[in-house]
Amino acid sequence: MNGATLAAAQAARATTADPYVSIVMPCLNEEQTVGVCVRKAVSWLERAGVQGEVIVVDNGSSDRSVELAEEAGARVVHERRRGYGQTYLRGFTEARGEFIVMGDSDDTYDFSDLSALIEPLKHGADMVVGNRFAGGISRGAMPWAHRYIGSPIINFVIRLFFGTRIGDSQSGLRAFRRSVPERLQLRSGGMELASEMIVSAARAGMTITEVPAPYAVRQGESKLNTLRDGWRHIRYLLLAAPDFLFTLPGLVMIALGTATSVVSFVAPGGVEIGSLSWQPVFAGTILLAIGVNSVLVGVVAKLYGATHGLRHEDRWVRLYRRWFHLEWVLALAALLFVSGLLIDGLLFVVWAGSSHVALGGQLAALAQTLLIVGAELGMAAFLIVTVESP
């Protein structure tokens, strides 16, 4: 069926209560399959009695993909910026449907029956994900490393960092309400768009549902690069979770640094480990300095994300905004810094008098710690105020 015939058929059903559906497919040199995918999608729209459109977003194909997509009944739009995410973001803006379906044009997803994917949206769901593991993965459709290592790891990280239990977070077959992309302010230009959609929707409190979706063997050359695209997913997830990237590691290092500093005072002669003696004087300083810096970076990252719409405000951000006062933090920073100077000055005076101070090395390390932490805290306080300014 060509585009004109499809439009006429949709007009004849204009009185139906079903929502208008836009089916968006990215395309880069998919002449073997794009026409097949479009025809399947058009056929489903006809058989289901659903008003809709099929949009193919071409990302610079050099073969006959555009011609074949149009012949099959799709509306083709062109996106010059390269990337999986870029093509979808363009397609979402072009879509006119109340519901939007996204899926690859390589014939791995079955566009001939999208009813199960659409149905949860009619009952209040914001996003529906086609779970390939539940729907059945054809032999050879997914590399072993992706199936048993890559996808499970990303699923685990998303569950750990964001508390969202999704069985197939990397599935490319999804349906959602038209308002979802705008509400989520999606930005990812690459494959990590799949993770961004899940994470942002979960943070926004949206309802995410999964339905089984079969996954077939791809026809043609894959555009997926395992190492590059896998790293882009992990990088996005880490940057989207500053608590796990900065704050928690920082708190662990502060705890270890404090414990190490206490040990250096309790055992000034060092800790005997077999035939070796460990003197943890400056280890505590290093751990404390790095830990405090990491926590402060985490605070700045969370506030910047919440202030500039990159992530939603959580209870820790609200708590900070309630209690943070620049003057209080600067006073604490000054107290720590001056205390470090006083200890250093005292040690210098004693040294100049050729006297010996018990625990001199430990006191010197404590002084350096106070100087470093005080300076970091003072500078971070001004940075936080700057970040908070829209």
Could you tell me the residue ranges of all domains in the chain? 3-239, 242-388
Average pLDDT over residues 211-238: 86
Give the chain's radius of gyration (CA, Å).
Answer: 29
The CATH superfamily holding the domain 3-239 is Spore Coat Polysaccharide Biosynthesis Protein SpsA; Chain A (3.90.550.10)
Question: What H or E segment, with its residue span, contains residue 340?
Answer: helix 326-352
What mean pLDDT, rounded, does the chain reach? 88
pLDDT for position 30: 95
Cα–Cα distances (Å) from 8 to 3, 12, 14, 94, 114, in that order, read 9, 6, 10, 20, 21
Q: 157 or 228: which carries more pLDDT confidence?
A: 157
pLDDT tier for residue 267 given thresholds of 50, 70 and 90 = confident
pLDDT for position 124: 93
pLDDT for position 291: 95
Question: What H or E segment, with its residue span, contains residue 56?
Answer: strand 52-58
CA torsion sign for 28, 30, 31, 33 is negative
Helix 193-203 vs helix 84-94: crossing angle, to nearest 10: 60
Reported for 250-253, long-range contacts at CB under 8 A and 24+ positions apart, including other chains, are 250/290, 250/291, 250/292, 250/293, 250/294, 250/295, 250/296, 250/297, 250/298, 251/291, 251/295, 252/291, 253/287, 253/288, 253/290, 253/291, 253/294
Q: Cα(202)–Cα(207) distance, rounded to whole angstroms?
A: 8
- Neighbouring CB atoms inside 10 A of 299's CB total 22
114 exposed, middle or buried (CB, 10 Å; 0-12, 13-18, 19+)?
buried
CA torsion sign for 183, 184, 187, 192 is negative
- Neighbouring CB atoms inside 10 A of 222's CB total 10
> What is the 8-class DSSP label of residue 149?
I
CB of 118 closer than 8 Å to CB of 99: yes
How do strand 276-278 and strand 271-273 relate by DSSP bridges?
Answer: antiparallel
pLDDT for position 390: 56
Residues sharing a CB contact under 8 Å with residue 166, sequence separation 6 or more, in sequence order: 129, 155, 158, 159, 198, 208, 210
Q: Cα(386)–Cα(380) distance, rounded to whole angstroms?
A: 10
Q: Cα(293)–Cα(311) distance, rounded to whole angstroms?
A: 22
Question: What is the pTM assigned to this prediction?
Answer: 0.79
Find which of 5-19, 119-133, 145-159 is predicted with most confidence, using mean pLDDT: 119-133
pLDDT for position 289: 92
**What b/e sequence results for 278-296 when a residue is b if at least 16 CB atoms lie within 10 Å of its CB, and e otherwise?**
eebbbbbbbbbbbbbbbbb
CB of 283 closer than 8 Å to CB of 361: no
Per DSSP, the residues of 344-363 read: HHHHHHHHHTT---TTHHHH
Which tokens hold the place of 315?
């209870």
Question: What H or E segment, with its residue span, contains residue 130?
Answer: strand 127-131
pLDDT for position 355: 67
pLDDT tier for residue 247 given thresholds of 50, 70 and 90 = very high
Helix 193-203 vs helix 226-239: crossing angle, to nearest 10: 20
pLDDT for position 45: 96
Q: Cα(260)–Cα(282) distance, rounded to whole angstroms?
A: 9
